[in-house]
Amino acid sequence: MELFDIFNKKKKERERQEQLRLQREAEAKRRAEEQRRRAGEQRRREETTPQSTEHSSNENEPQVKVPNTRVLPTDDEVSEQLQYLAEQANWSFNTGNQQATIKFMNELFDACYGRNGYKLLQISDQATQVIGLAFTSIARHLDFNDQDLNSVAAENALYCLARNLIANGNTFCTPAIFTLLLNHSDLLKDKLIAAHCEIAQKEIGLPICVMLGGNPFNAPHLNDFREQAVSKRVPIMAYILPFFYKEQSKEYSIPTDMPYHIPSQSQINKFIRLKSEYGKANENLLQEGKRYFYQIFEECQETLLKTKSM
Protein backbone atom coordinates (compact mmCIF):
# COMPACT_ATOMS: atom_id res chain seq x y z
CA MET A 1 0.00 0.00 0.00
CA GLU A 2 2.82 2.42 0.84
CA LEU A 3 4.51 1.72 -2.48
CA PHE A 4 1.23 2.37 -4.29
CA ASP A 5 0.82 5.69 -2.44
CA ILE A 6 4.34 6.75 -3.39
CA PHE A 7 3.65 5.87 -7.02
CA ASN A 8 0.42 7.89 -7.00
CA LYS A 9 2.15 10.88 -5.43
CA LYS A 10 4.88 10.83 -8.06
CA LYS A 11 2.30 10.47 -10.80
CA LYS A 12 0.30 13.43 -9.47
CA GLU A 13 3.47 15.51 -9.20
CA ARG A 14 4.37 14.72 -12.81
CA GLU A 15 0.86 15.65 -13.88
CA ARG A 16 1.06 18.88 -11.89
CA GLN A 17 4.41 19.77 -13.46
CA GLU A 18 3.06 19.01 -16.94
CA GLN A 19 0.00 21.19 -16.25
CA LEU A 20 2.22 24.03 -15.08
CA ARG A 21 4.38 23.65 -18.20
CA LEU A 22 1.34 23.83 -20.46
CA GLN A 23 0.06 26.86 -18.58
CA ARG A 24 3.42 28.62 -18.98
CA GLU A 25 3.48 27.83 -22.69
CA ALA A 26 -0.08 29.09 -23.12
CA GLU A 27 0.74 32.28 -21.22
CA ALA A 28 3.88 32.85 -23.26
CA LYS A 29 1.93 32.44 -26.49
CA ARG A 30 -0.80 34.74 -25.19
CA ARG A 31 1.75 37.42 -24.34
CA ALA A 32 3.38 37.06 -27.77
CA GLU A 33 -0.03 37.42 -29.45
CA GLU A 34 -0.78 40.45 -27.28
CA GLN A 35 2.51 42.01 -28.29
CA ARG A 36 1.75 41.44 -31.96
CA ARG A 37 -1.79 42.81 -31.52
CA ARG A 38 -0.51 45.94 -29.80
CA ALA A 39 2.10 46.38 -32.48
CA GLY A 40 -0.60 46.25 -35.15
CA GLU A 41 -2.73 48.78 -33.28
CA GLN A 42 0.27 51.04 -32.84
CA ARG A 43 1.01 51.03 -36.56
CA ARG A 44 -2.63 51.81 -37.36
CA ARG A 45 -2.70 54.67 -34.83
CA GLU A 46 0.43 56.32 -36.14
CA GLU A 47 -0.26 58.50 -39.14
CA THR A 48 3.43 59.14 -39.66
CA THR A 49 6.65 57.61 -38.36
CA PRO A 50 10.33 58.59 -38.60
CA GLN A 51 10.47 56.30 -41.62
CA SER A 52 8.51 58.91 -43.58
CA THR A 53 11.77 60.82 -43.91
CA GLU A 54 13.18 58.49 -46.51
CA HIS A 55 15.68 60.91 -48.05
CA SER A 56 17.65 63.86 -46.85
CA SER A 57 16.86 67.27 -48.28
CA ASN A 58 20.54 67.56 -49.03
CA GLU A 59 20.96 66.28 -52.59
CA ASN A 60 24.59 65.42 -51.86
CA GLU A 61 23.60 62.96 -49.12
CA PRO A 62 23.73 59.32 -50.34
CA GLN A 63 20.35 57.62 -50.64
CA VAL A 64 19.68 55.01 -47.97
CA LYS A 65 18.84 51.63 -49.46
CA VAL A 66 16.68 49.31 -47.39
CA PRO A 67 18.63 46.08 -46.78
CA ASN A 68 17.45 42.62 -47.77
CA THR A 69 16.22 40.92 -44.60
CA ARG A 70 15.64 37.46 -46.07
CA VAL A 71 18.91 35.90 -47.20
CA LEU A 72 17.84 32.33 -46.37
CA PRO A 73 14.39 30.70 -46.61
CA THR A 74 12.42 30.14 -43.43
CA ASP A 75 12.82 26.77 -41.74
CA ASP A 76 9.61 26.29 -39.75
CA GLU A 77 11.09 23.66 -37.45
CA VAL A 78 14.11 25.80 -36.56
CA SER A 79 11.93 28.89 -36.16
CA GLU A 80 9.49 27.15 -33.82
CA GLN A 81 12.29 25.61 -31.75
CA LEU A 82 14.09 28.93 -31.21
CA GLN A 83 10.84 30.77 -30.60
CA TYR A 84 9.83 28.23 -27.95
CA LEU A 85 13.18 28.56 -26.15
CA ALA A 86 12.96 32.35 -26.34
CA GLU A 87 9.41 32.40 -24.99
CA GLN A 88 10.43 30.19 -22.07
CA ALA A 89 13.53 32.31 -21.39
CA ASN A 90 11.50 35.53 -21.46
CA TRP A 91 8.72 34.10 -19.30
CA SER A 92 11.15 32.73 -16.71
CA PHE A 93 13.13 35.97 -16.64
CA ASN A 94 10.04 38.17 -16.28
CA THR A 95 8.58 36.00 -13.51
CA GLY A 96 11.84 35.83 -11.58
CA ASN A 97 12.46 32.10 -11.97
CA GLN A 98 16.26 32.24 -11.95
CA GLN A 99 16.94 28.53 -12.42
CA ALA A 100 14.62 28.23 -15.44
CA THR A 101 15.90 31.53 -16.84
CA ILE A 102 19.50 30.34 -16.87
CA LYS A 103 18.46 26.97 -18.33
CA PHE A 104 16.46 28.36 -21.24
CA MET A 105 18.86 31.24 -21.93
CA ASN A 106 21.75 28.81 -22.23
CA GLU A 107 19.73 26.46 -24.43
CA LEU A 108 18.74 29.32 -26.75
CA PHE A 109 22.30 30.63 -26.93
CA ASP A 110 23.75 27.16 -27.62
CA ALA A 111 21.12 26.39 -30.28
CA CYS A 112 22.48 29.08 -32.59
CA TYR A 113 26.07 29.56 -31.44
CA GLY A 114 29.17 29.09 -33.56
CA ARG A 115 28.52 27.19 -36.77
CA ASN A 116 24.79 27.19 -35.97
CA GLY A 117 24.53 30.98 -36.11
CA TYR A 118 22.89 30.86 -39.55
CA LYS A 119 19.77 29.35 -37.93
CA LEU A 120 18.76 32.87 -36.93
CA LEU A 121 18.54 33.67 -40.63
CA GLN A 122 15.97 30.88 -40.98
CA ILE A 123 13.46 32.12 -38.41
CA SER A 124 10.21 33.73 -39.52
CA ASP A 125 9.80 37.50 -39.41
CA GLN A 126 7.13 37.03 -36.73
CA ALA A 127 9.53 35.14 -34.45
CA THR A 128 12.24 37.81 -34.51
CA GLN A 129 10.77 39.98 -31.75
CA VAL A 130 10.49 37.33 -29.04
CA ILE A 131 13.90 35.87 -29.96
CA GLY A 132 15.51 39.32 -30.14
CA LEU A 133 14.17 40.27 -26.71
CA ALA A 134 15.48 37.00 -25.24
CA PHE A 135 18.95 37.63 -26.67
CA THR A 136 18.82 41.16 -25.28
CA SER A 137 18.28 39.71 -21.80
CA ILE A 138 21.09 37.21 -22.37
CA ALA A 139 23.49 39.96 -23.44
CA ARG A 140 22.60 42.19 -20.51
CA HIS A 141 22.16 39.71 -17.67
CA LEU A 142 23.72 36.28 -18.32
CA ASP A 143 27.24 35.99 -16.91
CA PHE A 144 29.40 33.90 -19.24
CA ASN A 145 32.65 35.04 -17.60
CA ASP A 146 33.58 35.96 -21.17
CA GLN A 147 32.46 39.28 -22.63
CA ASP A 148 32.94 37.97 -26.17
CA LEU A 149 29.97 35.65 -25.62
CA ASN A 150 27.85 38.53 -24.36
CA SER A 151 28.86 40.37 -27.53
CA VAL A 152 27.60 37.46 -29.62
CA ALA A 153 24.28 37.63 -27.76
CA ALA A 154 24.07 41.41 -28.28
CA GLU A 155 24.75 41.03 -32.01
CA ASN A 156 22.11 38.30 -32.28
CA ALA A 157 19.66 40.56 -30.45
CA LEU A 158 20.40 43.49 -32.73
CA TYR A 159 20.00 41.35 -35.85
CA CYS A 160 16.61 39.99 -34.77
CA LEU A 161 15.21 43.27 -33.48
CA ALA A 162 16.45 45.31 -36.44
CA ARG A 163 15.06 42.75 -38.87
CA ASN A 164 11.67 42.95 -37.19
CA LEU A 165 11.64 46.73 -37.48
CA ILE A 166 12.84 46.75 -41.10
CA ALA A 167 10.63 43.88 -42.30
CA ASN A 168 7.53 44.39 -40.15
CA GLY A 169 7.69 48.04 -39.10
CA ASN A 170 7.27 46.84 -35.50
CA THR A 171 8.20 49.74 -33.24
CA PHE A 172 7.94 47.58 -30.11
CA CYS A 173 11.41 46.24 -30.97
CA THR A 174 13.05 49.66 -30.87
CA PRO A 175 13.45 50.26 -27.09
CA ALA A 176 15.71 47.21 -26.75
CA ILE A 177 17.88 48.37 -29.68
CA PHE A 178 18.17 51.79 -28.06
CA THR A 179 19.03 50.30 -24.64
CA LEU A 180 21.75 48.05 -26.07
CA LEU A 181 23.41 50.96 -27.87
CA LEU A 182 23.11 53.35 -24.93
CA ASN A 183 24.16 51.09 -22.05
CA HIS A 184 26.06 48.24 -23.71
CA SER A 185 27.86 49.76 -26.68
CA ASP A 186 31.00 47.88 -25.62
CA LEU A 187 29.24 44.65 -26.64
CA LEU A 188 28.52 46.06 -30.11
CA LYS A 189 31.86 47.80 -30.60
CA ASP A 190 33.13 45.42 -33.30
CA LYS A 191 29.95 45.78 -35.35
CA LEU A 192 30.03 49.57 -35.02
CA ILE A 193 33.63 49.56 -36.27
CA ALA A 194 32.73 47.19 -39.12
CA ALA A 195 29.82 49.42 -40.16
CA HIS A 196 32.02 52.53 -40.03
CA CYS A 197 34.67 50.79 -42.15
CA GLU A 198 32.17 49.70 -44.79
CA ILE A 199 30.62 53.14 -45.10
CA ALA A 200 34.06 54.78 -45.30
CA GLN A 201 35.15 52.33 -48.03
CA LYS A 202 32.04 53.13 -50.07
CA GLU A 203 32.68 56.86 -49.76
CA ILE A 204 36.42 56.82 -50.51
CA GLY A 205 36.57 53.85 -52.88
CA LEU A 206 39.63 52.27 -51.28
CA PRO A 207 40.11 49.22 -49.01
CA ILE A 208 39.96 50.37 -45.41
CA CYS A 209 43.37 48.96 -44.46
CA VAL A 210 44.99 50.86 -47.35
CA MET A 211 43.10 53.99 -46.46
CA LEU A 212 44.09 53.90 -42.78
CA GLY A 213 47.43 52.15 -43.01
CA GLY A 214 46.54 49.39 -40.59
CA ASN A 215 43.89 47.10 -39.14
CA PRO A 216 41.03 49.32 -37.91
CA PHE A 217 40.09 46.83 -35.20
CA ASN A 218 43.39 46.69 -33.33
CA ALA A 219 46.11 48.95 -34.79
CA PRO A 220 47.37 51.18 -31.93
CA HIS A 221 47.48 54.32 -34.07
CA LEU A 222 43.82 53.93 -35.10
CA ASN A 223 42.29 54.34 -31.67
CA ASP A 224 40.69 57.65 -32.71
CA PHE A 225 39.06 55.90 -35.67
CA ARG A 226 37.60 53.26 -33.34
CA GLU A 227 36.27 55.94 -30.99
CA GLN A 228 34.69 57.71 -33.95
CA ALA A 229 33.05 54.43 -35.01
CA VAL A 230 31.58 53.85 -31.54
CA SER A 231 30.27 57.43 -31.49
CA LYS A 232 28.07 56.53 -34.47
CA ARG A 233 25.73 54.90 -31.97
CA VAL A 234 24.48 58.44 -31.29
CA PRO A 235 22.90 59.03 -34.72
CA ILE A 236 21.59 55.45 -34.71
CA MET A 237 19.84 56.10 -31.39
CA ALA A 238 18.61 59.47 -32.71
CA TYR A 239 16.98 57.59 -35.57
CA ILE A 240 15.54 54.87 -33.28
CA LEU A 241 14.22 57.04 -30.41
CA PRO A 242 11.23 58.63 -32.23
CA PHE A 243 9.80 55.21 -32.93
CA PHE A 244 8.86 54.82 -29.26
CA TYR A 245 9.32 58.22 -27.59
CA LYS A 246 8.14 61.76 -28.37
CA GLU A 247 11.01 64.00 -27.40
CA GLN A 248 9.07 67.25 -27.64
CA SER A 249 6.28 66.19 -25.25
CA LYS A 250 8.47 63.78 -23.26
CA GLU A 251 5.98 60.94 -23.70
CA TYR A 252 6.37 57.28 -24.62
CA SER A 253 4.38 56.29 -27.69
CA ILE A 254 4.26 52.60 -26.74
CA PRO A 255 2.92 50.96 -23.55
CA THR A 256 5.55 50.98 -20.81
CA ASP A 257 4.08 48.09 -18.81
CA MET A 258 5.56 45.40 -21.06
CA PRO A 259 9.09 43.89 -20.74
CA TYR A 260 10.62 45.47 -23.84
CA HIS A 261 13.85 46.70 -22.19
CA ILE A 262 12.40 50.21 -22.28
CA PRO A 263 14.90 52.90 -21.19
CA SER A 264 13.93 55.11 -18.26
CA GLN A 265 13.35 58.84 -18.59
CA SER A 266 16.74 59.49 -16.96
CA GLN A 267 18.43 57.24 -19.52
CA ILE A 268 16.70 59.08 -22.35
CA ASN A 269 17.85 62.38 -20.83
CA LYS A 270 21.39 60.98 -20.79
CA PHE A 271 21.11 60.28 -24.52
CA ILE A 272 19.71 63.73 -25.26
CA ARG A 273 22.83 65.21 -23.65
CA LEU A 274 24.99 62.94 -25.79
CA LYS A 275 23.09 64.03 -28.89
CA SER A 276 23.56 67.71 -28.09
CA GLU A 277 27.33 67.15 -27.94
CA TYR A 278 27.39 65.30 -31.27
CA GLY A 279 26.90 68.53 -33.18
CA LYS A 280 24.82 67.84 -36.25
CA ALA A 281 21.52 69.22 -37.54
CA ASN A 282 18.66 66.91 -36.56
CA GLU A 283 17.59 66.08 -40.13
CA ASN A 284 21.12 65.10 -41.14
CA LEU A 285 21.56 63.22 -37.87
CA LEU A 286 18.49 61.09 -38.57
CA GLN A 287 19.68 60.37 -42.10
CA GLU A 288 23.12 59.36 -40.85
CA GLY A 289 21.54 57.24 -38.13
CA LYS A 290 19.35 55.40 -40.59
CA ARG A 291 22.33 54.70 -42.82
CA TYR A 292 24.42 53.32 -39.94
CA PHE A 293 21.45 51.38 -38.56
CA TYR A 294 20.98 49.56 -41.84
CA GLN A 295 24.71 48.97 -42.15
CA ILE A 296 25.16 47.51 -38.67
CA PHE A 297 22.19 45.21 -39.36
CA GLU A 298 23.90 44.01 -42.54
CA GLU A 299 27.16 43.43 -40.64
CA CYS A 300 25.35 41.21 -38.12
CA GLN A 301 23.52 39.40 -40.92
CA GLU A 302 26.74 38.79 -42.85
CA THR A 303 28.44 37.32 -39.76
CA LEU A 304 25.56 34.86 -39.31
CA LEU A 305 25.58 33.94 -43.00
CA LYS A 306 29.28 33.08 -42.85
CA THR A 307 28.59 30.38 -40.23
CA LYS A 308 26.67 28.35 -42.83
CA SER A 309 29.95 27.51 -44.60
CA MET A 310 31.92 26.73 -41.44
Domain presence at residue 210: yes
Domain presence at residue 30: no
Domain presence at residue 134: yes
Domain presence at residue 57: no
pTM tops 0.95:
no
Domain presence at residue 48: no
What are all long-range contacts of 162-166, with beta carbons under 8 Å and residues at least 24 apart?
162/293, 162/296, 162/297, 162/300, 163/69, 163/125, 163/128, 163/132, 163/297, 163/301, 164/125, 164/128, 164/129, 164/132, 165/243, 166/66, 166/67, 166/69, 166/294, 166/297
Domain presence at residue 145: yes
| Per-residue confidence (pLDDT) for residue 23, from 0 to 100 | 59
Three-state secondary-structure class, residue 61: coil
Spell 270-309 as b/e; 16+ CB within 10 A means b. Answer: ebeeebeeeeeeeeebbbbbbbbbbbbbbbbbebbeebee
| Per-residue confidence (pLDDT) for residue 40, from 0 to 100 | 55
The whole domain housing 73 covers: 68-309
Distance CA 35, CA 90 (A): 13
Count of the separate structural domains present in the chain: 1
Domain presence at residue 159: yes
In this prediction, the residues of the chain whose per-residue pLDDT falls under 50 are 1-4, 6-7, 44-59
Domain presence at residue 25: no
| Per-residue confidence (pLDDT) for residue 304, from 0 to 100 | 98
